[in-house]
Amino acid sequence: MDHGHVRRRPRPHGTTVCVAPAMTAIDLTIKDLTQILRDRKSLMFILIMPIVFTLLFGFAFGGYGAPADTRLPVVVAGDTGDPAHAAFIDLVESSAVVRLVTPASTDDQALRASVRDSKVAAVVLIPSGFLRACYDGTNPLLPCVVDVASTSGTTARNELANLSARLTSAVQAARMTAAIFSDSAPTTGINESPAFTFEQFTSVFRSAAAAWKAQPSAVAITVSSKLTEQQRTAGGFAHASPSMMLQFSIAALISAAGIVVEERKSRTLARLMTTRLSRSGILLGHYCAMFTQVFAQLALLILFAAVVLRVQYLHAPVATLLVTICASAFVAALGLLIGVTSRSEEQAIAFSLILMFVLAGLGGAWVPLQYTGAVFQRVARATPGAWIVDAYENVVQRGLGVSSVLLSCSLLVACGAALFLLAALRFRRQSA
């Protein structure tokens, strides 16, 4: 027997190493982050997938291209030889609400079918001899085919009514001019020709209608001078970037929450409880790992969007940093609650995905909230997802600063604190 060496009995396969008594919350944080970084699937959810979806939704919402013409398509049909037809077309082309399109067919049934099938929002018919009838003193109507049951139809009808009023005003101007001219012109007999001819009436009408092409009044939209032209042309990326960051920061919780679940199932938690690390220290260690993961993820995605996609988060860096910190605090608290609540890794995955879809959907990740119904908007704007997206958009789309994000950040911190408290109560019951 060799007394110079001590033989160590080999540890049976599957035996878990005891947790060091001196382990701290920081050590636990580092351990969680190391496990997350070793998982390639986690890295895909943290960086690759949000970049891909940001590009996809960004181009879908507009991307780098020129803004799409969102005006409602309308058709102006009828007597193309009437001066009123050309005047009304000019008014439509000057509108910010409707735009002129050329129909495939001018047949009455085909035009009505195009409205019924939502190919165009409305069809305006210029009756034959419209301006001649106005010259003779009658007030002919402009028939309009529109689907009043649709939002676009109602909007188009209101704008076309406004344009028709301008056309009517041009007719009134021509009539007033004719009356003044007739009163001042000498008379030679009962059978003499009208003092103000139809050609003169048409000339005055055209001048008055042309003057109406310029908007008599308009709402001036002032954009912050801090917003550069490059930022304003970032298109859909200014919405897609914060939306996808919200969505995939929650999706990335799957691995972090799974670590908490596995720790409990493998009885590592029980061994941690025998060390000097308190319950609060254990929770804090896991929370700090989740916070660091989410914050690093958001920071890298912000840097990518700022450098590659020209979404200028950095024109108000303090506001962007504040939103990122508060969003990370909320998402980390959500992940901690998922981890201590879930009984299995499958359940943690399900909870993470369900919350991702709900919060991202209500936050306007897939459809901007301004395009949804009023009731949906009221509900959605009361959710943390909408607070995060709105706060980021205050910076990247509206050119605002710190003051514009304070309310959203306060709500996120309050909501995150409530979730952390719920997680702590749940964890105390489990470890009691």
Q: What is the mean pLDDT of each run of 10 residues along the chain (432 residues)?
A: 44 41 74 80 77 82 55 88 88 87 86 87 90 87 84 85 87 84 58 69 84 58 49 66 90 84 78 73 90 93 91 91 96 93 89 91 85 86 93 88 93 96 88 62
Tell whether 56 and 116 lie within a shared domain: no
Tell whether 179 and 271 lie within a shared domain: no
Tell whether 44 and 92 lie within a shared domain: no
Give the whole-angstrom CA distance, residue 399 versus residue 382.
23
Spell 148-165 as b/e; 16+ CB within 10 A means b: eeeebbebbbebbeebbe
Last-in-domain residue among 211, 245, 267? 211
Give the whole-angstrom CA distance, residue 200 versus residue 1.
129
Q: Evaluate whether residue 5 is within a structural domain.
A: no
Total domains in the fold of the chain: 2
User: For residue 422, which of 331, 336, 326, 355 has the smallest C-alpha distance?
Assistant: 336
Q: Which CATH number do you get for residue 171?
A: 3.40.190.10
- Calculate ∠ Cα 293-298-302, nearest 5°: 150
Tell whether 376 and 393 lie within a shared domain: yes
Spell 276-293 as b/e; 16+ CB within 10 A means b: ebebebbbbbbbbbbbbb
Q: Evaluate whether residue 321 is within a structural domain.
A: yes
Residues 208, 298 contacting (CB under 8 angstroms): no
Give the whole-angstrom CA distance, residue 38 versus residue 147.
58
Query: 253-265 and 345-362 are packed helices; what angle lies between their axes, rounded to 10 degrees?
Result: 150
Tell whether 122 and 198 lie within a shared domain: yes
Count of CA atoms in the C-beta half-sphere (13 A) of 327: 32
Pair of tokens at residue 129: 């001899």
Exposed / middle / buried, residue 422 (Cβ in 10 Å: 0-12, 13-18, 19+): middle
Give the whole-angstrom CA distance, residue 159 versus residue 183.
36
Residues 84, 130 contacting (CB under 8 angstroms): yes
Tell whether 360 and 289 lie within a shared domain: yes
Residue-level pLDDT at 185 = 56
Number of H helices, E strands in the chain: 18, 4
Tell whether 127 and 197 lie within a shared domain: yes
Residue-level pLDDT at 221 = 46
Residues 120, 101 contacting (CB under 8 angstroms): yes
Range of the structural domain that residue 187 is part of: 72-211
Query: 83-93 and 151-184 are packed helices; what angle lies between their axes, rounded to 10 degrees?
Result: 130
Q: Which amino acid type is present at position 424?
A: A
Give the whole-angstrom CA distance, residue 424 versus residue 280.
8
